[in-house]
Chains A and B, each alone.
Chain A
Amino acid sequence: MRLKYGDLIIIAVILLAAILMIIPKKSNGEQVILTCDGEEIAVFDLNKNTEYTFHGSYENKLIIENGYAFISESDCPDKVCVRSKKISKSGETICCLPNKMMLTVVSIKIKTDVISK
């Protein structure tokens, strides 16, 4: 190992950037938004237990249970969505890239047209 000063700077900068991105505290989420290819498909209440199957190029089975949302089954090739952690805090996501499906937890749903008014 022959590290030079610049290497330590690079590692420090990356660490700092990662820590800065984590720091903003997460609040508990209220709703889960399901999007496909950027388009909103459905909105779910996190406090209501539900099941929903999303049919895209593949099928993702979404389950909402005790304030947590997760994908229980999927026939996509990589299964990253099924292995992802359960989400409950605002900003947390589960995505299934093969299906272009994404779940996002939000605290209160803010409509974008309020801002652009």
Chain B
Amino acid sequence: MTEKIAKCGVFAAIAIVISSLERLIPLQAVVPLPGIKLGLSNCVILFVLIQFGFLSALSVLLIKCTVTSVLFSGISSLVFSLSGGFLALCGMYLLLQFKKLFSVYGISVCGAALHNIGQVAAAAVMLGSIYIFEYLPVMLFISIITGMITGGISDIIGRRLKGYRG
């Protein structure tokens, strides 16, 4: 148990570092939409989810979202990243129950799409308007691409760490 807590701490730290490095990639300059990013730290969350289970992944997600929003983007963005991240985590957990049907690519794409849906829904509540769902189709297209990228990375990580058991 203690070992698991320590390992989750390490993975939370990795997730924080990755998402802060990710901020250096100017994706918003190419696609000017609020909240567009690669979501590389989702690889970490997915890995923890596969290795340690739902609760550990949830705790890593909570730590990562809180720390990154305090450090970089302000508390208001915490609502967006948490609602998106939580929805994505639930969806990925559900898909993981059917390992025969879905590979890590599908799970990752689904996570990315749900992350965007959660974010847009949170923004709609915050702004008190449904018009913001206008952004959703574009964000879904992009989430397929970013989901495949993070899925590919997760696939590589999974193969390299095949013998690893948390």
List the interface of chain A (C-beta within 8 A of B).
1-11, 14-15, 17-19, 21-22, 35, 37-39, 77-78, 80, 83-85, 91-93, 95, 97-98, 100, 102, 104
| A18 touching B137 in the complex, CB below 8 Å, given contacts A4-B102, A5-B101, A6-B106 | yes
Q: Hey, which chain B residues are within 8 Å of A5, CB to CB?
A: 101
For chain B, the bracket of interface size reads: 35 or more
| A95 touching B128 in the complex, CB below 8 Å, given contacts A7-B109, A18-B140, A19-B137 | no
The answer to whether B21 has its CB under 8 Å from any CB of chain A is no
Q: How far is the CA of A102 from the CA of B126 in the complex (A)?
A: 11
Contact A10 B102 (CB under 8 A): yes
Q: Hey, which chain B residues are within 8 Å of A21, CB to CB?
A: 133, 136-137, 140
What number of residue pairs across chains A and B have CB atoms under 8 A from each other?
Answer: 108
Residues 112-166 (chain B) with a chain A CB within 8 angstroms = 113, 123, 126-129, 131-138, 140-141, 143-144, 152, 155
Interface-lining segment among B27-35, B44-52, B82-90: B27-35
Q: Which residue of A lies closest to B141 (CB)?
A: A18
Query: How close is B123's CB to chain A, nearest CB, in angstroms?
Result: 7
Q: How far is the CA of A25 from the CA of B95 in the complex (A)?
A: 34
| A3 touching B105 in the complex, CB below 8 Å, given contacts A17-B140, A18-B141, A100-B126 | yes
List the interface of chain B (C-beta within 8 A of A).
28-29, 32-34, 74, 76-77, 80, 95, 98, 100-103, 105-106, 109-110, 113, 123, 126-129, 131-138, 140-141, 143-144, 152, 155
Query: How close is B89's CB to chain A, nearest CB, in angstroms?
Result: 16
Query: How close is A19's CB to chain B, nearest CB, in angstroms?
Result: 7
Q: How far is the CA of A105 from the CA of B102 in the complex (A)?
A: 41
Q: Which of B76, B103, B132, B144 contacts A15 (CB 8 A)?
A: B144
New A-B pairs, 7, CB < 8 Å, besides A80-B34, A95-B127: A15-B141, A18-B138, A18-B141, A21-B133, A35-B127, A83-B29, A91-B131
Q: How far is the CA of A2 from the CA of B102 in the complex (A)?
A: 10
Count chain A CB atoms within 10 A of each CB in B105, B132, B133 and give the residue with the most. B105
Q: How far is the CA of A73 from the CA of B100 in the complex (A)?
A: 52
Q: How far is the CA of A83 from the CA of B132 in the complex (A)?
A: 16
Q: Hey, which chain A residues are within 8 Å of B144, CB to CB?
A: 11, 14-15
Q: Hey, which chain A residues are within 8 Å of B138, CB to CB?
A: 18
| A37 touching B127 in the complex, CB below 8 Å, given contacts A2-B103, A4-B106, A6-B101 | yes
